[in-house]
A and B are shown apart, each in its own frame.
Chain A
């Protein structure tokens, strides 16, 4: 029976299956951060349980961490208490932690791949919805809640039902200036925030195969924004080249054995998907969101939509509420929307390639004097690499702020927040009301659009800068 890639990974991890019960799925890697874990550790203690496999568990501090003065104690006492709870819990249960200041610290979804802990064919979970990022390696990776975090800590397994299978095929050439972020924003706009509900999405096609690992991570990262359980991409030579030599990647004869197995991780000819979406890469343009959910996006050439044009009453009401919150008038060209802040970072677009793309556009230029730009590398290692390449100086010379690593303004659990009414162009993943700070207004964009927007102070495509 031909299988999809996701089915192969799923089936290879079933510990036990019985009629009328969910399958018990083995978890190869459990990533942990400070926000969704404290109550899980408390649950273990209350029941007298231990962590079954500390060696398959890795923790880091990312959501609460300040991006300035990172070696000083956290000023916010509540954030500090949460980080200190993680330190106590990981010490008590023997779990490796990359704390602030550590060379391995960073956003949980950046450090897994960077350390080589994320590998093809694995099952990976984390108490964080953007765990789907790791699917870029051909892993089945998904976000879980705190009760499930406790379950994985205690048993290294999760009860699961096999998800439905969706193929998103992107064929053709992406035009210049159009990136992985634009692809995934276009996919979400097409299928909607609930379109992937109940599915694992496999991204495939010639445009996907040409993408770097960083770009593949950007795409898989936002699968959850389409409602999908996970998103993944078949591993290939690009994947193997990224992994080889990383600290936790197999070596020598084990590397060869691993690559032989990873090479079988492809959807079989004749495997059946429950749903299919096809996108022609050559028709895509830079995409930006105008509303308050990631499905409310349009090509940057478009105008703010008129809610009256939505056929569905729910969509119409949602558009009205979104425009009111966003302070936008129907018919306004998206390029005329002025922003106060540009945020470059997050688990979606905080990797080295994202910083390189933005720096290239900013090199030798100054950002708009009325706009502030925050550049927040996804990890300490990304920051170090960028500094080796001199990118920090490019950003600083352009007038941007160069910060320490963490989740930062993606969700504003640290001091990096929008003020009420402020508007951002953000390379993060969610434009929800108040996500980046109470009353803040978010437009989701690619790193290239973020940099171009910083230069002009309004939503701008990189191509607009040519001859400007």
Chain B
């Protein structure tokens, strides 16, 4: 995973609630067995069917920060949704509320999710609609979003922040505790089910 410290880019206003993972990337695009190349499925239905969809507008075509309504990423556990956003050039998604699995997957994939109150999202929408070229900075080190004269603090749990800042891989971190895993395993009751051998 790439480390995330701070990112400055332009932002696209996605004025929708409940942006589910089937909209972020439909199931037919999940058949690929590689880890990259998912940008072709990113919001494909809206990009295809809605000429005025925000990411079809040239002024937002190069945005790297997505600003969405509440309940972003609801639905499926597909991490392909996070990969599609990254492959499509996004490094940050800002929303008043994220679905749990999407948010968790983001921390593994290196996509930063920033929770801001609805009023702050509304203000940011207004600013980037008034000036699509407005630079927006998301600083994970300082835990703040900055645009124009506005500075909005955000919170993230310190452990996740540390992992993202360092670009650390969870598996490697967990492997340091193999002795604890082995000790736990030795205490499990013998009747707990095993898939092997097949019965």
Expressed in whole angstroms, the minimum distance between the Cβ of B177 and any Cβ of chain A is: 5
Among B90-124, those with CB < 8 Å from A are 97-101, 104-105, 108-109
Distance to closest chain A CB from B98 (angstroms): 8
- B184 interface neighbour in A15, A58, A129, A261, Cβ under 8 Å: A15
Alpha-carbon gap, A193 to B33, bound state (A) = 30
By the criterion CB–CB under 8 Å, are A150 and B31 in contact? no
A147-B105, A148-B104 known; A248 vs B195 contact (CB < 8 Å): yes
- Decide if A85 touches B33 in the complex (CB within 8 Å): yes
Contacts of B193 in A (CB 8 A): 28-29, 116-117, 119, 122, 248-250
Interface size class of A (residues with CB under 8 A): 35 or more
CB distance from B75 to the nearest CB of A (A): 6
Number of interface residues of B (CB under 8 A): 63
Contact of A412 among B28, B157, B185 (CB under 8 A): B28
Count the A-B residue pairs with Cβ separation under 8 angstroms: how many?
Answer: 207
**Residue A385 at the chain B interface, CB threshold 8 Å:** no
Question: Which residues of chain A have C-beta atoms less than 8 A from B196's C-beta?
Answer: 54-55, 96
B74 with A227: CB separation less than 8 A: yes
B143 part of interface (Cβ distance < 8 Å):
no
Tell me the residues in window 6-27 of chain A with beta carbons closer than 8 Å to chain B beta carbons: 15-16, 20-22, 24, 26
| Pick from A16, A155, A198, A413: contact of B27, CB under 8 Å | A413
Q: Is B71 an interface residue (CB 8 A)?
A: yes
Tell me, yes or no, whether A357 is within 8 Å of chain B by CB: no
What separation, in Å, do the CA atoms of A144 and B20 have in the docked complex? 16
Query: Using an 8 Å CB-CB cutoff, how does the interface string of B166-192 with A read, 1 for contact, 0 for none?
Result: 000011011101101100110011111
Q: Which of B22, B101, B158 contacts A143 (CB 8 A)?
A: B101
Q: How far is the CB of A3 from chain B (nearest CB, A)?
A: 19
Contact B159 A250, beta carbon cutoff 8 Å: no
Q: Which residue of A lies closest to B103 (CB)?
A: A197
Q: Are B32 and A15 in contact (CB under 8 A)?
A: no
Q: Does B45 contact A (CB under 8 A)?
A: yes
Question: Is A443's CB within 8 Å of the partner chain B?
Answer: no
B23 contacts A104, C-beta separation under 8 Å: no
Closest Cβ neighbor of A96 among chain B residues? B195
Q: In this assembly, does A435 line the interface, its C-beta being within 8 Å of a C-beta of chain B? A: yes
Contact call A227/B71, Cβ cutoff below 8 A: yes
In the complex, the answer to whether A64 meets B31 with C-beta atoms within 8 Å is: yes
What is the minimal beta-carbon distance from B122 to any residue of chain A, in angstroms? 10
Contact of B15 among A15, A49, A317 (CB under 8 A): A317
CB of B181 within 8 A of CB of A81, answer no
Most chain A CB within 10 A, of B35, B45, B105, B193, is at: B193
Shortest CB distance A225–B (Å): 8
B57 contacts chain A at the CB level, 8 A cutoff:
no
- A29: chain B residues at CB < 8 Å are 193, 195
Q: Check B180–A197 contact: CB distance below 8 A.
A: no
B142 at interface by CB-CB < 8 Å: no
Measured between C-beta atoms, what is the minimum distance from B188 to chain A in Å?
8
Q: Report A-chain residues with C-beta under 8 Å of the C-beta of B27.
A: 63, 411-413, 435
Distance of A154 Cα from B181 Cα, bound (Å): 12
Specify which chain B residues have a CB less than 8 angstroms from the CB of A145 in the assembled complex: 77-79, 82, 101, 104-105, 108-109
Query: Contacts of B17 on A, CB cut-off 8 Å?
Result: 314-315, 317-318
Q: Are the CB atoms of B76 and A129 closer together than 8 Å?
A: yes
| A128 in contact (CB, < 8 A) | yes
Q: For A104, what are the chain B residues with a Cβ–Cβ distance below 8 Å? A: 198
A20 → B minimal CB distance (Å): 6
Chain B contacts of A212 at CB under 8 A?
Answer: none
B4 to chain A, nearest CB (A): 15
B residues less than 8 Å from A248 (CB atoms): 193-195, 199
Q: A293 — nearest CB in chain B belongs to which residue?
A: B18
- Report whether A434 and B198 are in contact in the complex, using a CB–CB cutoff of 8 Å: no
In Å, the complex CA distance between A461 and B124 comes to 46
A339 to chain B, nearest CB (A): 20
B20 touches A413 (CB 8 A): no
Check B22 against A434 for contact (C-beta < 8 Å): yes
Interface contact B171-A144, CB-CB below 8 Å? no
Please tell me which one of the listed residues B70, B75, B101, B175 contacts residue A155 in the complex, with CB atoms under 8 A apart.
Answer: B175
Q: Which residues of B contact A81 (CB under 8 A)?
A: 31, 33
Contacting residues, chain B, for A49 (C-beta < 8 A) = 171
A227 to B175, CA, bound (A): 31
A63 to nearest B CB, angstroms? 8
- Which chain A residues border B13 with CB–CB below 8 Å? none
| B111-153 Cβ-contact flags toward A at 8 Å (1 or 0) | 0000000000000000000000000000000000000000000
Flag if A56 contacts B32 (CB, 8 Å). no
Interface residues of B (CB under 8 A from A): 15-18, 20, 22-23, 26-28, 30-35, 45, 49, 69-71, 74-80, 82, 97-101, 104-105, 108-109, 157-159, 170-171, 173-175, 177-178, 180-181, 184-185, 188-196, 198-199
Top 3 A-B residue pairs of the complex, sorted by shortest distance between their CB atoms = A147-B108, A145-B105, A145-B79
* 22 residue pairs from A and B, CB less than 8 Å apart: A28-B193, A29-B195, A36-B30, A39-B33, A39-B35, A58-B195, A76-B31, A96-B195, A129-B101, A143-B76, A144-B77, A155-B171, A197-B97, A247-B199, A250-B193, A314-B70, A317-B16, A318-B17, A413-B27, A433-B23, A435-B27, A438-B45
| 15 more CB-based (< 8 A) A-B contacts, given A56-B195, A314-B70, A434-B23 | A39-B34, A42-B33, A52-B181, A63-B27, A96-B198, A119-B193, A122-B193, A151-B170, A151-B171, A151-B174, A159-B174, A193-B18, A194-B97, A261-B189, A433-B23
